[in-house]
């Protein structure tokens, strides 16, 4: 999968500006295009199959040979599914959890990040280290104590348990702090001289400047919460509280031969994420790149 196709590069004649030497090798570019196209199509095949199957009858899903474009489009799958499972309830629960958790994470995360990045006090760095250290501990290692705490608090099988568990993550603090470090201290200093309190500096200077990072954090948190399976799987037993992921999983378990309907549900569960992703792609990429560069 590496660059096995590149032909030996001809020795560059330095007559034309050498800033983009690779432009001079059209064969190489063509091959790169070809390879990239083939591989991208291969990566997208599962999605194509998902969409195609969602518009078929169950009996036609596994036809031989494979029908990539359905002979007949069964759009009614997309209306029938709402009656087959309480999809609306699942979607509502997912939206509620994702929005609440994202809002809390962004708010408390960016607030705490200001304390870590712009206020100097004894013990600050040790505290930050504790935050970082827990990112490295696998969540599975402490999910049982978490569960015991929630059980003792009587919060198992409530949305509140998931909100509490996921809204105060260390990741948001880390991401926002990294961004705040790039904001010059002189700006905060100027705010101080103008008589702003630290809270005022956070709200009026730092927060408006960190919109890209806030967007990254919000999108990553939203998508993570929307797609989360284990949290709801462990904590939510009541059907009325289920998220779209749990609902879809249980549908698959109950009606494992209704292939088309399962794919219809899958498409519907992915669709909101696709829209959000296409709108905010820039911020996703930036968020991931920042969290990777320490």
Partner 1 sequence: MATTLSAAGTGRRRSSTWIGWSFILPNFLGFAALTLVPVIAALALSFLDWDSYSTPRWVGLDNFERMIHNDTFWTALKNTAYYAIGHVPLTLCAALGFAVLLNQKLRGARFFRTALFFPYITSLVAVAVVWNMLLSPDLGPVNQFLRAIGIDSPPGWTTSTTWAMPAVIVASVWRDLGYYMILYLAGLQTIPAELYEAAEVDGANGWQRFWSITVPSLRPTTFFVLIMLTISSFKVFDLIQVMTEGGPGRSTLVLSQVIYREGIVQGRFGYSSAVSMVLFAIVLTITLIQFQLQRRSER
Q: Which of residues 76-135 bind partner 1 (CB under 8 A)?
A: 107-109, 111-112, 114-116, 119-124, 127, 130-131, 134
Number of residues in contact with partner 1 under rule CB under 8 A: 115
In this structure, what token pair is assigned to residue 220?
A: 């990553």
Residues 24-83 that bind partner 1 (CB under 8 A): 28-29, 32-33, 35-37, 39-40, 43-47, 49-50, 53, 61-66
Q: How far apart are the C-alpha atoms of 97 and 89, rounded to whole Å?
A: 12
Distances (CA, A) of 185 to 114, 203, 224: 12, 15, 32
Q: Is 171 in the site for partner 1 (CB under 8 A)?
A: no
Closest contact distance (angstroms) between CB of 67 and partner 1 is 10
Q: How far apart are the C-alpha atoms of 229 and 284, rounded to whole Å?
A: 21
Q: How far apart are the C-alpha atoms of 235 and 2, rounded to whole Å?
A: 43
Q: Is 226 in the site for partner 1 (CB under 8 A)?
A: yes
Q: Note whether 183 and 209 are within 8 A (CB).
A: yes
Q: Which is nearer to partner 1, 11 or 88 (CB)?
A: 11
In this structure, what token pair is assigned to residue 107?
A: 């708010």
Site string for partner 1, 235-264 (x = CB under 8 A): ---------xx--xx--x------x--xx-
Q: How far apart are the C-alpha atoms of 155 and 164, rounded to whole Å?
A: 10
Closest contact distance (angstroms) between CB of 212 and partner 1 is 15
Q: Which is nearer to partner 1, 14 or 208 (CB)?
A: 14
* Dihedral, CA of residue 242, residue 248, residue 249 and residue 252, to nearest 10: 140
Q: Which is nearer to partner 1, 65 or 154 (CB)?
A: 65
Q: Is 182 in the site for partner 1 (CB under 8 A)?
A: no
Pick from 15, 69, 71, 293 the residue near partner 1 by CB under 8 A. Answer: 293
């Amino acid at each position: 999968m590496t660059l096995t196709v590149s032909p030996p590069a001809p020795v560059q004649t330095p007559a034309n500006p050498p800033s983009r030497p690779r432009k001079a090798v059209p064969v190489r570019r063509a091959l790169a295009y070809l390879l990239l196209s083939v591989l991208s199509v291969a990566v997208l095949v599962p999605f194509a199959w998902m969409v195609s199957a969602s518009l078929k009858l169950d009996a036609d899903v596994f036809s031989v040979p494979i029908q990539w474009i359905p002979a007949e489009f069964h759009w009614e799958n997309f209306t029938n599914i709402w009656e087959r499972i309480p999809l609306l309830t699942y979607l509502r629960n997912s939206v509620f959890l994702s929005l609440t958790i994202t809002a809390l994470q962004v708010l408390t995360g960016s607030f705490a990040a200001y304390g870590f990045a712009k206020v100097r006090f004894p013990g600050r760095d040790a505290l930050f280290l504790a935050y970082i250290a827990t990112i490295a501990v696998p969540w599975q290692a402490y999910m049982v104590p978490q569960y015991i705490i929630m059980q003792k608090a009587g919060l198992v099988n409530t949305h509140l348990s998931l909100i509490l568990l996921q809204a105060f993550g260390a990741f948001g603090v880390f991401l926002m702090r990294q961004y705040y470090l790039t904001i010059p201290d002189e700006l905060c200093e100027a705010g101080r001289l103008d008589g702003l309190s630290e809270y005022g500096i956070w709200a009026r200077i730092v927060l408006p400047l960190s919109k890209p990072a806030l967007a990254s954090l919000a999108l990553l948190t939203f998508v993570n919460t929307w797609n989360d399976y284990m949290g709801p799987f462990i904590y939510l037993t009541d059907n009325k509280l289920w998220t779209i992921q749990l609902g879809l999983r249980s549908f698959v378990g109950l009606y494992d031969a209704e292939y088309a309907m399962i794919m219809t549900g899958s498409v519907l569960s992915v669709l909101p994420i696709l829209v959000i992703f296409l709108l905010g792609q820039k911020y996703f990429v930036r968020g991931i790149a920042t969290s990777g560069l320490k």
